[in-house]
Each structure stands twice: as structure tokens, then as C-alpha cells.
Amino acid sequence: MNASDAVIRVEDLHKSFGNLAVLAGMSLSVARGETVCILGPSGSGKSTLLKCITRLEEPSGGRIFVSGIDITRADVDINKVRADVGMVFQQFNLFPHKTALGNIALALEKVLRMSKPQARQRAMEELDHVGLSEKADSYPSQLSGGQQQRVAIARALAMRPKAMLFDEITSALDPELVKEVLDVMRRLASEGMTMIVVTHEMGFAREVADRILFIDEGVIVEEGEPNAILTNPQHKRTQQFLAKVLD
Ligand code: ADP
Ligand code: MG
């Protein structure tokens, strides 16, 4: 990959909490339109990596570039970083007193300073994108977990991000609601969105990922095409992890 094609480039990223080194020198690039799935055991640093890429955590060392801009610089506009790199979490974090449309429109008014009518129009487009236009006026409590998660995805997409980061977004859902959320990510991948997906859904990773990274103890242990990693892992730690999660 040509360095200039990278939407996200992480160079020797370190992150410690006190004397706990959570990220111990991680480097990766994600090309435009690429879907990278990240696998790894609990506590290996997956969420911390994604949070550093959106500056929800401050890196202890190393650099992170989004479309060539160093976002670890002190003078970077954090709001711009968060609009450019959308992140979706396991918890949906929707405002309970706002409708689905209202949740998305509010973010657009606050972050992008859009007018109310413009924000509502774009919010409607993004609800349609995730197949929820008929739920525009529903409150989160009136939506299933899968629907709430799709609203959260639409809220991030409404910022027209350069990349999307997904952190185990189906892990809290009832099993029958997982597919509708995976389908939305599948669709985004096929539309050419640049994505990093932390997931335990091995079928999804095999089918949708262009590349899989296996991380453990804050380093990338192994990376490659899904079939290579899932069928023929080279490292013992990858083999042990996969033996636990694959049937
Ligand atoms: P993963 O997402 O792979 O399960 P995390 O990135 O959430 O792992 O966490 C990696 C390690 O960092 C864990 O040991 C966790 O307890 C620790 N950690 C994460 N966030 C914090 C924090 N804000 N303060 C202290 N320790 C943290
Ligand atoms: Mg995590």
C-alpha cells in the first residue's frame, strides 16, 4: 500500500495507564475502502487502540494520522477528529429524551453547526441508510437494541466520516438482533467505507474483512487475509485464541 492511500496510519503507538502498558508499540495502516477486523482476547488493548484513534484516550507515545493529518498534535481540533472518524460502541449512548431523528440531528447541530432543517434532512437520509426511516419519531425506549444500535451508526455516519470504528457493537445484543446490525456494517463495507471492526463474529470477519489483525498484550501478533489467519494461523497465541472462539 502506498502511504498516501492510508486513511488511518498508526505509528508505534504506546499507551499506558500508570505502569500498566496497554499498547506496547502498535503500527498499522488502513487503506481507503478497506475493512480491517481486529480480533484478540479481552484486555488485549482493542478498545484502547480505537479510543486513541478518536483521541478519547491520549496516546503515551507514537503518532496517528488521519488522511495524512497528525491527530496526536496538541493543536488539533478534537471535534474535527471525532467527525472525521466515527466510532460506535457496544453501548448505544443515545439520549433517551430525544427521538431517533432528534439524536442524529442534535449531533449535527452541535458538532457541524448545521441549521435545524438541514440537520433534520441529513438525519433522515442516514436513518434511511440504516433502514430505519419509519422509526424517525420513535424514542430509544421504543426501539429494539438492534434498532438503537443502527441509530447510533446513523448518527456517526451523518458526520460523513472518512472512517468508521466499531467496537464490539453486537456484543450486547440478543442473538436474533445481531444480524441486522452486521448487515448494516456489511453494506457500509460494500459501499467503500473505510472501517476498523473489533468483533467476535468470526463469520462476519471471514466474509467481510479485507484483513484481520490479531492482537494480544498490546501488540499485533499476526495479520493477514481472513482465510490465512482463521484457517492457518502461524502464531501459538493466535491458534490458542481461535481454538477458544471457533467451533
Ligand atoms: P479490550 O478492549 O481488548 O478488552 P481494553 O483496551 O479495554 O481491552 O483494555 C486493555 C487493558 O487496559 C485492560 O487491562 C484494562 O483494564 C486497561 N484499561 C483500559 N482502560 C483503562 C483506564 N481508563 N484506566 C486504567 N486501565 C484501563
Ligand atoms: Mg474492548
pLDDT surpasses 60 at 3: no
Burial code (b: 16+ CB inside 10 Å, e: under 16) for 120-138 equals bebbbebbebbebeebbeb
Distance 173 CA to ligand 1 centre (A): 22
- Structure confidence by residue, pLDDT tens digits, 28-64: 999 999 999 999 999 999 999 999 999 999 999 999 9
- Mean pLDDT of the region 129-154: 98
Cα–ligand 1 centroid distance for 238 (angstroms): 20
pLDDT band at 4 (very low <50, low <70, confident <90, very high): low
Are 105 and 94 contacting, i.e. CB atoms less than 8 angstroms apart?
A: no
- For residue 193, the model assigns a pLDDT of 98
For residue 130, the one-letter residue type is V
> Could you say which ligand is closest to the alpha carbon of residue 49?
1
Task: Kindly state the helix (H) or strand (E) to which residue 31 belongs, with its residue range.
Answer: strand 20-31
Summarize pLDDT for 152-205 with one digit per residue, the tens. Answer: 999 999 999 999 999 999 999 999 999 999 999 999 999 999 999 999 999 999
Q: Whose CA is nearest to atom 24 of ligand 1?
A: 17
Nearest CA to ligand 1 atom 19: 48
- Ligand 1 lined by 17 (C-beta under 6 Å): yes
Average pLDDT of the chain is: 96
pLDDT score, position 89: 96
Cα Dmax for the chain: 55
Strand, helix or coil for residue 86: strand
pLDDT higher than 70, residue 2: no
On the question of pLDDT at 25 being above 60, the answer is yes
Helix (H, G, I), strand (E, B), or coil: what is residue 229?
A: helix
Give me the pLDDT at residue 5, please: 80
pLDDT average, residue stretch 125-139? 97
Q: What is the pLDDT of residue 107?
A: 92
Nearest to residue 154, comparing CAs of 174, 176, 181, 191?
181
